[in-house]
Amino acid sequence: MILPPATLGMLGGGQLGRFFVSAAHEMGYKVWVLDPDPHSPAGLVADRHLIAAYDDYVALDTLGAECAAVTTEFENVPADTLDYLSKFIPVHPAASAVAVCQNRIAEKTFLAEHGLPHGPFAVIRGEDDIRAADAGLFPAVLKVARFGYDGKGQARVADREQALAAFQHFKAEPCVLEKMLTLDFEVSVVLARDEAGTVRAFPPGENRHRNGILDVTIAPALALASLSADMQGSAERIAERIADKLGYVGTLGVEFFVCGGELFVNEMAPRPHNSGHHTIDACDVSQYEQQVRALCGLALATPRQHSAAVMVNVLGELWYEDGKGHGPYREPDWSVLHAVPGLRLHLYAKHHARAGRKMGHFVVIGDDPAQVLERALQARAAIGIRDE
């Protein structure tokens, strides 16, 4: 076990890292953050911020010498960096697990090899792969294998011709071609797993997206509960199996499509998940505390959600007069949100707002799930978040 006042290392300085730093500080640890952005949200609250690239071996040697263990807050940290640090100190999750989750080809292949439920797909490395793809895959979504997130690096394609055009637009980067499924809704499971293989999962949340970016999470998932009593358990069991097959240690997010009452794994995130933000306010242990516990070899807590919760993302366009990222720049009127009973606002202290950038979120909690959802959606509208 790694006990306070040990120093922990965090690769990545975004909001997920910021929440990790806060959780670790509350538990008595110090945290060093490595992130190239001098304005990184996690770096602002860390005990030390190493402003360096993820492949800067001088900075990595410093981290390895001064920290008792290292974790990450986003999946695009190079797996080679994690592998290098693991030669000196514990690194969780391992490079091998992150390498699967950060590449859609590796991810889909992993799901197929382990018999985990997934939609039909084809690996695309060249135009000939598109020409040879099963006609039944169309209409489809073409997704770049690396560095795509929040709807970036994706294109809906009705047929081969559109797929070829999109592939060229992506500069012939390796892709996956996924059949477009008819969605009932989307859910996600956030869990933590320790080195002994113990898993503790939070109840699944129901996710609603806007322009390819997570907009609202309802927890527990109301739509999931309406299908069958066992659906929640099925989602948790699949997510646990993924963590087991990856040999995963840490906090993991697994996104699911629900189609015709069946679960299909969409993707895995080797880190805390945006849809798990509500665990700070609505549960007796957060996903970030679980991340600290798993990293340090402490016993995982058994999550208990004490309140119904709805999380709403606050994106950068809200800082602009037209609500779309154009016109005069001004601070939103946060008093509108602070007046809502049971609402907790979290702002990430990011340096500059831009359209589509996650600048913060708020969570509404309460006893009645329907009333909580109604209050959250009313607050969402009152602060100026638009559906178009």
Whole-angstrom CA distances from 107 to 69, 142, 149, 177, 349 are 26, 15, 14, 13, 32
User: What does the DSSP assignment read for 115-148?
Assistant: T-----EEEESSHHHHHHS-GGG-SEEEEESSS-
| Nearest partner of 210 among 51, 339, 72, 358, judged by Cα | 358
Q: Which residues does the annotation place in the binding site?
A: 104, 143, 148-154, 178-181, 186, 209, 266-267
Greatest CA span in the chain, whole angstroms?
Answer: 59
Angle made by CA atoms 230, 234, 238, in degrees to the nearest 5: 175
Q: Residue 94 in contact with residue 247, Cβ under 8 Å? A: yes
Counting every residue, how long is the chain?
Answer: 388
Q: Residue 280 in contact with residue 23, Cβ under 8 Å? A: no
Whole-angstrom CA distances from 94 to 16, 70, 78, 248, 295 are 18, 10, 11, 7, 11
Q: Whole-angstrom Cα distance, residue 140 to residue 143?
A: 10
Measured in degrees and rounded to the nearest 5, phi and psi for residue 162 equal -65, -35
Q: Find the DSSP H helices in the chain.
A: 15-26, 41-45, 57-66, 79-85, 95-101, 104-113, 127-132, 160-169, 222-227, 231-246, 279-282, 287-296, 335-338, 369-382
What type of residue is 359?
Answer: M
Q: Residue 263 in contact with residue 119, Cβ under 8 Å? A: no
What type of residue is 45?
Answer: V
Residue 23's SS3 state is helix
Q: Which residues does the annotation place in the binding site for ATP?
A: 104, 143, 148-154, 178-181, 186, 209, 266-267
| Nearest partner of 216 among 385, 41, 355, 350, judged by Cα | 385
